[in-house]
Structure 1
């Protein structure tokens, strides 16, 4: 990620979205409407308090379109100690999708979200990077729609 700081420290993950939050107002006109609504939504980066913060959501599903529509859906189940509902993110015009595994954290049952970042990606599209406890998800697309609600897990 370019602005969000996520790294392992001695006893756990350090997460800091402040540089991204400082940059976010400058990105408003460059991000597609759905992406902007998602990252600028109330509580998105309110790590200790908001039930609409992505931190600690659990990756529950990846659904790729098998036709050439460019569709992708990521589902995240709620963390039972933090969230009331899960999150479903639908992507349109997907040009790139990658899952990069990079750690060996074998004591966790599922990959959970540490933080995410959405940046402009040319021609009005966006790049969404989601840092998980054991992997990074990267999606380059035209836009996304994030819907909170329902237990996806």
Structure 2
């Protein structure tokens, strides 16, 4: 990620996460983000760590692509039961690139891709990039736009 900090700190035996530089810079490029990406990136709850609509601590539970809808991608995040009342779905259109990189040293081999540490949305030519730092991997998508929506508690998935 370019501005968001999300890294393991051996001295603390934990992850260090800090979106402040990204939030300072967001004002410089927010108008270059596509509408859906801008709406999600500038949502005041997005980085409100104790809030139930903060992306931190969600768990990546599903990655979906359809062979009939080229350029579409769907990520589903399950709620953390101690923090969130619902999960999050992010649907991407005009997907040009998807990179998934597994950590060389995952902290818990049973956690799959891991939980969200933080994310970052940046403008790119023709759309945006959306990168998630997870506790066991990272996911980066380049697309035309995205639509993020919090699910109703009874409508998980």
Please classify the TM superposition score into its range, dividing by the shorter chain length: over 0.9
Q: How does 1:122-141 map to 2 (within 5 A)?
A: 122-123=125-126, 125-141=127-143
Question: What is the alpha-carbon distance in structure 1 between the residues aligned to residue 52 and residue 117 of structure 2?
Answer: 14
Aligned to 1:65: 66
Q: How does 1:2-151 map to 2 (within 5 A)?
A: 2-10=2-10, 11-47=13-49, 49-67=50-68, 69-102=70-103, 103-106=105-108, 109-110=111-112, 111-123=114-126, 125-150=127-152
Q: Alpha carbon RMSD of aligned pairs, Å?
A: 1.4
Segments of structure 1 that go 5 or more residues without pairing to the other structure are none
Deviations 1:87-127 (A, max 9, x none): 0000000000121002321265341000000000112x000
Residue 42 of structure 1 contacts residue 52 of structure 1 at CA under 8 Å; is this kept in 2?
no
Segments of structure 2 that go 5 or more residues without pairing to the other structure are none
**Secondary structure of the structure 2 residue equivalent to 1:29:** helix
Question: What is the alpha-carbon distance in structure 2 between the residues aligned to residue 141 and residue 109 of structure 1?
Answer: 27
Question: What is the alpha-carbon distance in structure 1 between the residues aligned to residue 110 and residue 85 of structure 2?
Answer: 21
Deviations 1:39-72 (A, max 9, x none): 111210111x211100000111000121352000
The alignment covers a number of residue pairs equal to 151
The alignment's TM-score, normalised by the length of structure 1, stands at 0.93
Question: What is the alpha-carbon distance in structure 2 between the residues aligned to residue 66 and residue 45 of structure 1?
Answer: 34
More helix by share: 2
The alignment's TM-score, normalised by the length of structure 2, stands at 0.91
